[in-house]
Amino acid sequence: MEVATKETASSLGPRLITGVIMAISALAAVEAGGVAFLAVVSALTAIVTFEWIRMSCHERYHGSVGASIMTLGASAVAFSLWGVVDAFVVGAIGVLLVGLVARIERNRPFIVTSGLALFILSLISICWLRQENTTGVATVYWLFVVIWATDSGAYLVGTFIGGAKIAPGISPKKTWAGCIGGMASGIVFGVILAIVLFSVGILEGKPNLGLLAISGAILSVFAQVGDFTESAIKRYFAVKDSGAWLPGHGGALDRLDSMIFVTPILALAIWLAGGSAGLLWEGG
């Protein structure tokens, strides 16, 4: 059985400190809402986009980066002024223009635009989730907790218990034990948060614990799929991390890959259910 090495144990400190700082900053942005939340999410998405293009393209990529960031900004402004549909229209037009720029730079236009489209979708999705009048804050908190608990649970269980690898050719450190531990953590902490939110009166009524557990399990699975997808892409481009500015975590894309993958799925499910109160919260 694999056990944690001294090097792994020593890396937990910077990883934990960075994680706590990011968590506090994220929760503060969610609580602020409005333009502040949109600005923070847009800035993070711009960093993720830069890391994606730098990782996947040749040296001549500055035009693609500039056009992508302008597209993100235009989509964010459109969302703020006119709403979801207009933001998607602006984003779609921008993605087409970025594809032309990437082709001119002789980069990989399909890869550049595929990543940008997903990032715009995630940006609009999380801002839409946050703006729900009665339950938006609680829903985004719940999403964050499920994702963070999944990532942390998978990392800790995989590190200290080890066991059989899932796909060593893609991600040598990910184990089945970590996968199960991550899903269990996502379910448990998501349910605990729901109970707390109702207990302190942030939400009224009672939590739909069964549906919350099922939703947490599904999102946890998709979060880990997103993590694996980024690992496969990094392996393809022979890159260890998307960046190095987050001690213990790598880059913004390394930290947010699960969130980027899962947020549109949750937003779509809530939209189909007629709102988060109908999907996650009874009496919300």
The domain locations on the chain are 1-32+134-284, 33-131
pLDDT value of position 247: 72
Model confidence, pTM: 0.88
Average predicted confidence (pLDDT) for the chain: 87
Query: How many Å apart are CA 41 and CA 35, to the nearest integer?
Result: 10
Q: What average pLDDT does the segment 247-265 reach? A: 88
Confidence of residue 248 (pLDDT cuts 50, 70, 90): low
The residues, ordered by sequence, that sit 6+ positions from 278 with a Cβ below 8 Å of its Cβ are 270
Q: Which residue has the higher pLDDT, 242 or 150?
A: 150
pLDDT value of position 11: 62
CB atoms within 10 A of CB 45: 26
Query: How many Å apart are CA 254 and CA 19, to the nearest integer?
Result: 12
pLDDT value of position 193: 93
pLDDT value of position 22: 85
Q: What average pLDDT does the segment 237-252 reach? A: 79
pLDDT value of position 277: 64
Q: What confidence tens digit (pLDDT) does each residue in 158-214 have?
A: 888 878 888 888 888 888 999 999 999 999 999 999 999 888 877 877 788 888 999
Distances in Å between the Cα of 276 and the Cα atoms of 140, 213, 223, 269 are: 10, 15, 19, 9
DSSP state of 281: E
pLDDT value of position 4: 45
Query: How many Å apart are CA 98 and CA 156, to the nearest integer?
Result: 39
Cβ burial 214-235 (10 Å sphere, 16+ → b, else e): ebbbbbbbbbbebbbebbebbe
Q: What confidence tens digit (pLDDT) does each residue in 32-71 have?
A: 999 999 999 999 999 999 999 999 887 788 999 999 999 9
Tokens of 147: 């994702």
Q: What confidence tens digit (pLDDT) does each residue in 11-33 have?
A: 667 767 877 888 888 889 999 99
Tokens of 172: 């040598």
138: exposed, middle or buried (Cβ count in 10 Å: 0-12, 13-18, 19+): buried
Q: What average pLDDT does the segment 85-101 reach? A: 97
Residue pair 274/268 in contact by the 8 Å Cβ criterion = no
| % of the chain with per-residue pLDDT over 70 | 91
List helix spans (H) across the chain: 6-32, 34-56, 62-81, 84-104, 109-130, 136-160, 176-199, 209-236, 252-273, 276-279
Q: Is the pLDDT of residue 81 over 60?
A: yes
pLDDT value of position 6: 46
Q: What average pLDDT does the segment 120-130 reach? A: 96
pLDDT value of position 3: 39
Query: How many Å apart are CA 26 and CA 143, to the nearest integer?
Result: 12
Q: Which residue has the higher pLDDT, 205 or 257?
A: 257
Confidence of residue 2 (pLDDT cuts 50, 70, 90): very low
pLDDT value of position 168: 83
Q: What average pLDDT does the segment 84-93 reach? A: 97
